[in-house]
Structure formats: structure tokens, C-alpha cells
């Protein structure tokens, strides 16, 4: 359907399931008017869609031209929908998707970052912002309607200017800056993506985790005294945790830094809300007593030393640390112990450790893998991330490969971007390598078996998922 200049003063209903296309024309929906599109709405290049009234869309909305919506943009589908906003201004984005809450049938996916200036209202269904996409709520914009089974997955960001008192940011996060001025405060809530270090925190070995919600908070001016905070979440983001009778708030200065407790353990079983105190801002999340997040091990490196491998690690603090076992593997799957180093029990002092594995060429492979097994006095063991040393020259490698759910890329540049693509080039996962050039890749649950491409810089490796 191609529209010429059209001013809708009365309700207009496009046929159900039809695609309404504005191909280079002007479409205006004035105040008091309603445009209902049973199917998709496509605003093509050269077109202008301006609405001060109501636009109801039953399918996808794709904008590649000019879209200005100062009225209500309401998604009313009964199945998955997509909003590709392009260069648009959206005041009120509302969702009433009646699709079944299974397999993403009631999800509105926001395909690119956008800003909402008045309100984001969820009457029914989920809004999903994939990794790399941010939904911005302007300072005057509000969020309403979130409840179990009905919330925003992904990154949702808002700002408040001139913060000098108590502020409820409306995202399940409050802050009390009474007695000091923080200037503009920005809060980004990343939730529901089931991605370690993006939407939930992990301890050093990846054996325990927090809720599937991380708040990243920054301010124009640093706090002069500790700030009281509250963190809240929905059951959707429990992330497999079942007991919140000793829920603990945690803070991380930046991605990859150690997690540290930001408040005492407290009973959040009924409220799913905890109180915290922060002398500095950063990233905040919650775990229970069974899933602590602090990273005692702050670094672990493996590097060539002539024909040997030099393993070095540092702890910031230790609690009931009996010893470290150093383990080696020739294939990244099966590890065996090659040495043991005594720990320092309980200490708040930093300690450095090292161990040399001699003549690593005898393993008969081009890449040798190492990890630490830290053992507490009560026998509890935690594994470190895996590191690799190339025999003879640097090598880019994945291990394990094939895999059934997770793998690790080693040998890339520190901080390098890493992406996983499927056979037709669609993005499956995006992450960043750490300071050692290592990138753990936690593949999405239910990923189909097949061959995938792991790309970093100009290089690419094939990954087989079983």
C-alpha cells in the first residue's frame, strides 16, 4: 500500500495482517485520531510519518525514514513483534501483546537503540533489547506496568540531573544523596539476557552466580560519603537461585574487577529487595549465601618462559584458603594436577604466587592449557578461568571444540571484540576479551547444533556445537 499525503482526522483501520507501506509520502495522524494497522507498518526512505494521536500496530514497525511520534505508539500483536526505530522520536511506547508467554511469543524486540521521552508502559508482554541495544528513558520519562512475566529484558537506561537527595529511578533502583551533590546520575539496568558479566555476575571460577540483573551507576561528581542504595528485582531474574533468606548486595568497580559485598546479608525472600551502601558507584547486583560473588583471585596468567611455562596469580584477600592445585591439559577438556602451592588461610593482604611447568613441548601439542583449583580448609573447591600457552609461537584457539554449551577463545588481543555468528551470519553472541586475550563464550541455551563462526579482528575460527 503506497500512501500519498494523508491527514487522518478520523479513525483509520488497515486490513488485518496487511503491510501498510509509506513509500516516500507524508502520513500525519493528528491529535484525537487513531491509525490501526493489523499487520506491519513500513515507513520507507523518503517518507514522513508524524503522529500526535494513536498508532496501533499488530505486526512489525520498520522505519528507514522520518518517524516522529508525540502521541501513543501501541503494539497490539498476538505474536512476536519487532520495532526497528531508525532515526525516530518516540514519546509514548506502550505494549499490549496478547501472544502466549512461551518461546518469546509475546515479545517486542527493539532492534536498535532508541530514546523514549514520555513513557514506556507494559500492559501485556515483554520488551527485549538484545545485547548492544539500549532503551533510553529521558529524564522526564516514566516506566510503568512491570510485573512478573511483563518487564524489560536487556539494557534500560535513565538519567536524573542535579541529584542531591533521594531519587527513585523507576528501574528497581533508588539512591539517597542527601547532604551531597552528585550532578547528573545515570543508571543502566541490564536484565534477563542470561549472559555472564553482562546481565549477571559470576565468581572467579564461574561456579556460582548472582541474579540475572546488574545495575551500572555513574555520577557526574563522585560521592563524598557512602550512599544508601536499594536494589530490587522480579522472580523472572532469579537466575536459578531459590533461597534469598541471606541475600547480599555486591559491587564491582568495572567489568572484570573483583566483586565486593556492599551491604550485609538480609532476608529478601518476600520482597526481592536489598539495601546497600556504596562509597563509590559502579556495577551492583545481588546473590544469595550459597552463591557468593567475591573474586579473591584478582589475576591469573600463563606465559612462555623459554621452553617452560610460567604461571602467576595474585589474591587480594583469602578466607580459609588451604592450597592451590595447578592443573594442565593438552586439549582444554581433561585436566590433571602438576603441582600444589599452599595458601595463606584467612588474610586481607594481597599475595603473589607462581609455579613453573618445565619443557612444555613434551605435551606434543601447539597449545597447553592451565587452570587453578583453589581448595578451602573444608574441602570446597573453586576453579579459575583457563589460560593457555602457545608452544613455540602465539596461537588463536577455541576450547573445548566441539562443545555443547560453552567454550573459551584464547590468543586474541587484550580487549578485542569477539562475536559468534551462525551459518547465515546472524549474531549469536558478542563479548570482549579480557586483559590476557581470553574470552569465555557462554552460548545461549537451546542453541541449535551445527557449525558457527567465532570472529575476532581479521581472524575467524569454526566452532562446532553438538
Domains annotated on the chain, with CATH: 1-150 (no CATH), 154-294 (2.60.220), 297-390 (2.60.40.10), 397-465 (2.60.40.10)
Cα separation, 300 vs 312, in Å, equals 6
For the segment 227-250, the average pLDDT, to the nearest whole number, is 94
* Residues forming beta bridges with residue 408, ordered by sequence position: 399, 440
pLDDT at 4 over 50: no
pLDDT for 294: 63
pLDDT for 10: 41
Q: What is the pLDDT of residues 337-387, one digit of tens each?
A: 999 999 988 776 788 999 999 878 778 788 899 999 888 887 777 788 788
pLDDT at 253 over 90: no
Confidence of residue 1 (pLDDT cuts 50, 70, 90): very low
Cα separation, 428 vs 408, in Å, equals 15
Phi-psi region of 284 (alpha: psi -120 to 50; beta: other; left: phi over 0): beta
- pLDDT-wise least confident of 15-24, 115-124, 429-438: 15-24
Pairing state between β 48-51 and 26-29? parallel
Q: What is the pLDDT of residues 147-157, one digit of tens each?
A: 999 999 999 99
Chain centroid to Cα 384, Å, comes to 22
Round the average pLDDT of the chain to a whole number and report it.
88
pLDDT at 6 over 70: no
Phi-psi region of 130 (alpha: psi -120 to 50; beta: other; left: phi over 0): beta
* Residues forming beta bridges with residue 431, ordered by sequence position: 418
* pTM for the model: 0.66
Q: What is the pLDDT of residues 165-216, one digit of tens each?
A: 999 999 999 999 999 999 999 999 999 999 998 999 987 557 789 999 999 9
Q: What is the pLDDT of residues 387-438, one digit of tens each?
A: 888 886 545 777 778 888 788 887 788 888 999 998 888 898 999 888 777 8
Amino acid at each position: 500500500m503506497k500512501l500519498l499525503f494523508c491527514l487522518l482526522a478520523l479513525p483509520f483501520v488497515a486490513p488485518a495482517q496487511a503491510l501498510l507501506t509509506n513509500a516516500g509520502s507524508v502520513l500525519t495522524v493528528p491529535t484525537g485520531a487513531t491509525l490501526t494497522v493489523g499487520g506491519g507498518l513500513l515507513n520507507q526512505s523518503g517518507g514522513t510519518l508524524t503522529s500526535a494521536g494513536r498508532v496501533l500496530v499488530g505486526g512489525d514497525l520498520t522505519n528507514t525514514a522520518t518517524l516522529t511520534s508525540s502521541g501513543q505508539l501501541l503494539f497490539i500483536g498476538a505474536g512476536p513483534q519487532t520495532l526497528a526505530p531508525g532515526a525516530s522520536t518516540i514519546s509514548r511506547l506502550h505494549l499490549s501483546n496478547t501472544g502466549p508467554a512461551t518461546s518469546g511469543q509475546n515479545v517486542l524486540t527493539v532492534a536498535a537503540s532508541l530514546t523514549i521521552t514520555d513513557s514506556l508502559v507494559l500492559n501485556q508482554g515483554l520488551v527485549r533489547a538484545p545485547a548492544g541495544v539500549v532503551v533510553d528513558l529521558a529524564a522526564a520519562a516514566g516506566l510503568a506496568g512491570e510485573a512478573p512475566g511483563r518487564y524489560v529484558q536487556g539494557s534500560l537506561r535513565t538519567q536524573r540531573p542535579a541529584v542531591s537527595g533521594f531519587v527513585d529511578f523507576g528501574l528497581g533502583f533508588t539512591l539517597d544523596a542527601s547532604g551531597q551533590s552528585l550532578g547528573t546520575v545515570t543508571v543502566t539496568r541490564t536484565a534477563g539476557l542470561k549472559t555472564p558479566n553482562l546481565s549477571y555476575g559470576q565468581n572467579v571460577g564461574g561456579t556460582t552466580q548472582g541474579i540475572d540483573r546488574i545495575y551500572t551507576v555513574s555520577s557526574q561528581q563522585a560521592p563524598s560519603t557512602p550512599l544508601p542504595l536499594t536494589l530490587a528485582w522480579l522472580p523472572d531474574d532469579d537466575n536459578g537461585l531459590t533461597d534469598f533468606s541471606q541475600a547480599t548486595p555486591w559491587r564491582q568497580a568495572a567489568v572484570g574487577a573483583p566483586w565486593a559485598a556492599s551491604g550485609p546479608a538480609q532476608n529478601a525472600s518476600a520482597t526481592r529487595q536489598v539495601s546497600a551502601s556504596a562509597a563509590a558507584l559502579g556495577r551492583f547486583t545481588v546473590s544469595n549465601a550459597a552463591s557468593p560473588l567475591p573474586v579473591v583471585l584478582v589475576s591469573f596468567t600463563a606465559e612462555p618462559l623459554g621452553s617452560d611455562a610460567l604461571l602467576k596469580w595474585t589474591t587480594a584477600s583469602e578466607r580459609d584458603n588451604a592450597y592451590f592445585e595447578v592443573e594442565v591439559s593438552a586439549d582444554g577438556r581433561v585436566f590433571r594436577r602438576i603441582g600444589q602451592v599452599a595458601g595463606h588461610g584467612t588474610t586481607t593482604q594481597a599475595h603473589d604466587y607462581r609455579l613453573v611447568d618445565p619443557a612444555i613441548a613434551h605435551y606434543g601439542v601447539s597449545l597447553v592449557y592451565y587452570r587453578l583449583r583453589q581448595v578451602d580448609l573444608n574441602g570446597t573447591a573453586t576453579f579459575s578461568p583457563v589460560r593457555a600457552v602457545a608452544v613455540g609461537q602465539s596461537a588463536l584457539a577455541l576450547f573445548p571444540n566441539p562443545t555443547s554449551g560453552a567454550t573459551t577463545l584464547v590468543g586474541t588481543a587484550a580487549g578485542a571484540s569477539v562475536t559468534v555468528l551462525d551459518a547465515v551470519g546472524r549474531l549469536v553472541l558478542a563479548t570482549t576479551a579480557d586483559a590476557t586475550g581470553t574470552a569465555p563464550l557462554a552460548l545461549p541455551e537451546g542453541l541449535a547444533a551445527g557449525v558457527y563462526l567465532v570472529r575476532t579482528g581479521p581472524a575467524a575460527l569454526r566452532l562446532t556445537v553438538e
